[in-house]
């Protein structure tokens, strides 16, 4: 492995993921839910941006000046091409953390994001991250960080250790990463086949081992096969964050803010008796067997009064991003799946059904006749955001950022036509973030932007693309064979897109 990698997997590049938690708007909502004053984010940074999808979407779709670094040059090259397509508003580098911190001109930031970094880099690199945050985060600024935690990883950690050791010591020296991962998976399956006492003591492990086969090699490489991999207790993470003058402010996982979804009455009563927030969160992780945390940390948290908090929540604007008929009134927490009360959530969704942008204050007036009060409305909006059906809306004029959004989305859609992994997301000039859109829907969207209005024509174009690439659709678990079958299926999808999703795409100003 190359010396510059510092033990981090570089042979297989990272997945093309988008993460809503890296959007400062999500941080603003989470902080307000907890009663903290959110910062006015003007400069932001993502450390370890991977393929650069999140950082480029946030740079193109907002007025925030974004910076970032990722030391894998293949990933940075891809991210810089996306940045150029999006108007060149993201300043992206291939520096290691220490080098980036010493680069001339790096400003102070109001928001710093770290997704998939903390648990997978060396202790020295974590120290460098803390030092960077200490020197480059403004007072009042926010840090988003995600990381593997204990006790959730305690049971599975031996399996990860066996896989990493097997890949390192038991495969041929010239074997590629994909081959080593395959051999490691086969080995742990063989181990589990002997019914070890360890598996009897940890009965959930066998199922998790079986699910590894269903995950992409890119994900497995970066989750399990880096040299460094260290789940930590929350209290230990909080101690390290305190060295950058950070205090924990809120979970970025919005369902965590609705405690009945995750904790029993007895568990909530226990936590109420723990005054120290760090110890309380550490105990909470034990209660829910937390495996992965997503948190916002603040440098100088300022509490809001109840009236100011309510006023700021009322000012926030939102938009429905799925068809009203497809809204799912279900949400999943630690305790399982729960129904969203139709007498509360129905009126909220009805008020947003035309996909127009509305402030929470306007929603409050709209749902008042149905007997929905403010706190119920805020919880409903929170869970609709958490389930991806409602998005927060940025304060800027969409026209200001629309050219960059259009350029970036065209670049992402080209990957859809080419059969490459684009992540399944497009930028929105309205939300300042990304909206989910499947590969074929992206292609339909692009054809509509080219002035082609006939869904049957969209289906024919996409069908030709698939057959030219020797690709086939799968329906009901079986690959379609004939061109006629493909045209029929694609026409159905195109007509469904034209009816249900194209109006939403237009409302969200995707380009």
Q: How confident is the model at residue 1 (pLDDT cuts 50, 70, 90)?
A: very low
Name residue, tokens 């038991």.
170
Give the whole-angstrom CA distance, residue 57 versus residue 59: 5
Give the whole-angstrom CA distance, residue 262 versus residue 443: 39
Model pLDDT, residue 13:
52
What is the share, in percent, of the chain residues with pLDDT greater than 90?
Answer: 80
Give the whole-angstrom CA distance, residue 230 versus residue 349: 42
Contact 25/392 with Cβ under 8 angstroms? yes
| Whether the predicted pLDDT of 309 surpasses 60 | yes
Model pLDDT, residue 168:
83
CATH class of the domain whose range is 10-151+230-298: alpha beta
Give the whole-angstrom CA distance, residue 234 versus residue 479: 46
Q: How confident is the model at residue 4 (pLDDT cuts 50, 70, 90)?
A: very low
Model pLDDT, residue 6:
53
| Whether the predicted pLDDT of 3 surpasses 80 | no
Model pLDDT, residue 14:
57
Contact 404/89 with Cβ under 8 angstroms? yes
Q: How far apart are the first and last CA of the chain?
A: 42
Minimum mean pLDDT range among 180-184, 215-219, 256-260, 360-364: 215-219
β-strand 137-148 against 292-298: which pairing, if any? antiparallel
Q: Give the bridge partners for 316, in sequence order.
A: none
Minimum mean pLDDT range among 217-226, 354-363, 364-373, 403-412: 217-226
Give the whole-angstrom CA distance, residue 24 versus residue 144: 9
Give the whole-angstrom CA distance, residue 385 versus residue 365: 20
Domain residue extents for the chain: 10-151+230-298, 157-224, 309-393, 400-507
Give the whole-angstrom CA distance, residue 159 versus residue 191: 9
Q: Give the bridge partners for 114, in sequence order.
A: 145
Q: How confident is the model at residue 338 (pLDDT cuts 50, 70, 90)?
A: very high
| Whether the predicted pLDDT of 330 surpasses 80 | yes
Q: If you average pLDDT over residues 343-371, what whole number do you get?
A: 98
pLDDT tens-place string over residues 114-136:
998 999 899 999 999 999 999 99
Q: If you average pLDDT over residues 476-495, what whole number do you get?
A: 92
Between 199 and 308, residue with greater pLDDT: 308
pLDDT tens-place string over residues 60-76:
999 999 999 998 899 99
Contact 250/293 with Cβ under 8 angstroms? no
For residue 151, whether the previous peptide bond is cis, meaning omega lies within 30 degrees of 0, is: yes
Name residue, tokens 């909530």.
268
pLDDT tens-place string over residues 428-445:
999 999 999 999 999 999
Model pLDDT, residue 269:
98
| Whether the predicted pLDDT of 12 surpasses 60 | no
Model pLDDT, residue 511:
86
| Whether the predicted pLDDT of 2 surpasses 50 | no
Model pLDDT, residue 8:
46
Q: How confident is the model at residue 498 (pLDDT cuts 50, 70, 90)?
A: very high
> What H or E segment, with its residue span, contains residue 143?
strand 137-148
Q: Dmax of the chain from CA atoms?
A: 70
> String of b and e for 292-302 (b: at least 16 CB within 10 Å)?
ebbbbbbbebe
Give the whole-angstrom CA distance, residue 46 versus residue 69: 7
Q: What average pLDDT does the chain have?
A: 93
């Amino acid at each position: 492995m190359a010396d510059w990698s510092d033990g981090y997997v570089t042979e297989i590049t990272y997945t093309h993921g988008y993460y809503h938690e890296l959007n400062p708007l999500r941080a603003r909502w989470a902080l307000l839910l907890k009663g903290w004053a959110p910062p006015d984010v003007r400069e932001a940074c993502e450390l370890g941006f991977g393929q650069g999808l999140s950082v480029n979407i946030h740079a193109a779709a907002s007025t925030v000046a974004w910076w970032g670094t990722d030391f894998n040059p293949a990933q940075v090259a891809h991210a810089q091409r996306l940045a150029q397509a999006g108007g060149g508003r993201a300043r992206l580098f291939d520096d290691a953390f220490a080098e980036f911190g010493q680069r001339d001109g790096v400003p102070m930031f109001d928001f710093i994001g770290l997704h998939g970094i903390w648990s997978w880099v060396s202790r020295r690199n974590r120290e460098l991250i803390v030092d960077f945050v200490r020197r480059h985060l403004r007072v009042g600024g926010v840090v988003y960080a995600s990381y593997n935690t204990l006790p959730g990883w305690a049971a599975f950690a031996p399996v990860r250790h066996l896989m990493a050791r097997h890949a390192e010591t038991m495969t041929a020296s010239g074997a590629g990463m994909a081959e080593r991962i395959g051999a490691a998976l086969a080995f742990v399956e063989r181990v589990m086949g002997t019914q070890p006492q360890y598996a009897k003591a940890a009965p959930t492990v066998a199922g998790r081992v079986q699910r590894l086969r269903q995950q992409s090699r890119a994900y497995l490489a970066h989750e399990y096969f880096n040299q460094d991999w260290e789940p930590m207790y929350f209290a230990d993470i909080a101690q390290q964050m305190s060295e950058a003058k950070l205090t924990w402010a809120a979970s970025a996982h919005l369902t965590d803010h609705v405690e009945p979804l995750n904790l029993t009455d007895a568990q909530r009563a226990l936590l109420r008796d723990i005054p120290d927030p760090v110890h309380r969160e550490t105990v909470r992780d034990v209660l829910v067997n937390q495996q992965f945390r997503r948190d916002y940390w603040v440098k100088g948290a300022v509490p809001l009064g109840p009236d100011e908090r309510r006023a700021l929540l009322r000012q926030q604007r939102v938009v429905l991003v799925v068809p009203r008929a497809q809204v799912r009134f279900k949400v999943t927490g630690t305790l399982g799946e729960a129904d969203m009360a139709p007498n509360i959530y129905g009126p909220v969704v009805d008020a947003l059904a035309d996909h127009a942008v509305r402030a929470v204050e306007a929603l409050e007036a709209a749902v008042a006749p149905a007997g929905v009060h403010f706190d119920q409305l805020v919880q409903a909006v929170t869970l609709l955001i958490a389930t991806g059906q409602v998005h927060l809306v940025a304060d800027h004029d969409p026209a200001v950022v629309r050219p960059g959004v259009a350029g970036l989305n065209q670049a992402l859609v080209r990957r859809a036509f080419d059969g490459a992994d684009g992540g399944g997301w497009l930028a929105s000039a309205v939300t300042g973030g990304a909206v989910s859109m499947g590969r074929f829907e992206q292609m339909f969207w692009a054809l509509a932007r080219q002035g082609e209005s006939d869904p049957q024509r969209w289906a024919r174009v996409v069908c030709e693309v698939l057959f030219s690439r020797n690709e086939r659709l799968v329906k009901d678990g079986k690959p379609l064979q004939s061109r006629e079958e493909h045209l029929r299926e694609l026409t159905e999808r195109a007509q469904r897109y034209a009816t249900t999703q194209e109006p939403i795409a237009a409302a969200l100003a995707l380009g």
